[in-house]
Structure 1
């Protein structure tokens, strides 16, 4: 039997109460320790932020410890949804875009510039990935070995003699991950 909207609402309310209770419990357990460490946020804000970060990573499919392997498309959808909510609140409060976009502090200006550059890089990366996927799909029709050849290029680079630095290992692993997004694994 499908749940009624009232039952769904009651389940949501129970969840919200449980999250609030968990944050309150964390504040009671370690709030004083946070203050003694000089954490500038209030313990409630600190733990609320931590819960939000945890849920964001979980929704994006990322590892909660390393922040790796999340789905950028899901992350962008969540961020854009948040942006749309903020804009609705601005309209409700009769804020103008000039007020929202007028940074007053140098660190705000730097943050806005950095976010703009990151957004541009993300858009460029998305477009390039879309083009590469399309080109590789097209190439597969005439070259069934393209996936193996692309993976072999990374493995050939990995086999080159190096000092074996941490940066080189990260480079190789990152290259493997990127290649895997464009290639099909053999069955």
Structure 2
């Protein structure tokens, strides 16, 4: 299915080149007609993906646009690294938004690593304690439920916190028999 789509896109670009390529070259464009029409097709698809007006380029979703552009930048960096192009892998001047996204990704990665390690350690400790104290799971659940009562669950934030807390606790405790 994808192959048919790709062939159709290639054919559309080739057809556009046949129809208007000579006119483009005579107008003094510095790119080849294939590059020009491929770029036009890419811009059109980009606008559609961003839900923008494909003629005016207005009304698009900037979050979608940034995600696409950010993904493209990461692909380009990977290609540069694969090609060992040291001159082009130097740190490029970036926009504040790109720097912030990189920092955010690094923070999320650090939090994810920390959560994994803490979870692994706590599970091991709970398993160790459970051998000497079979009631530990019930006491941990009771402590969480006491906090739930304090929160009352009146707001969306409270409800999200309660759900996350219960889910996270279930990661460490055994489900009581009969549930």
Partner of 2:60: 39
Unaligned runs of at least 5 residues, structure 1: 1-13, 50-82
CA contact (8 A) 1:103 1:109 kept: no
Question: Could you say if the C-alpha distance between residues 105 and 161 of structure 1 is closer, same or farther in structure 2, counting changes exceeding 3 Å?
Answer: closer
Partner of 2:96: 106
TM-score (norm 1): 0.53
Q: Write the distance in 1 (CA, Å) between the matches of 2:51 and 2:81.
A: 36
CA contact (8 A) 2:153 2:162 kept: no
CA contact (8 A) 2:52 2:60 kept: yes
TM-score (norm 2): 0.55
Secondary structure in 1 aligned to 2:108? helix
1:128 aligns with 2:118: yes
The 5 A counterparts of 1:13-162 are: 16-17=2-3, 20=5, 31=48, 34-36=51-53, 38-39=59-60, 87=78, 89-96=79-86, 99=89, 101-160=91-150, 162=152
User: Deviation of residue 169 (structure 1)?
Assistant: 1.5
Unaligned runs of at least 5 residues, structure 2: 10-43, 69-73
Partner of 1:173: 163
The two structures, once aligned, show a CA RMSD in angstroms of 3.9
Q: Whose radius of gyration is greater, 1 or 2?
A: 2
Question: Could you say if the C-alpha distance between residues 100 and 151 of structure 1 is closer, same or farther in structure 2, counting changes exceeding 3 Å?
Answer: farther
Question: Could you say if the C-alpha distance between residues 100 and 172 of structure 1 is closer, same or farther in structure 2, counting changes exceeding 3 Å?
Answer: farther
Q: Write the distance in 2 (CA, Å) between the matches of 1:170 and 1:179.
A: 14
User: Deviation of residue 33 (structure 1)?
Assistant: 10
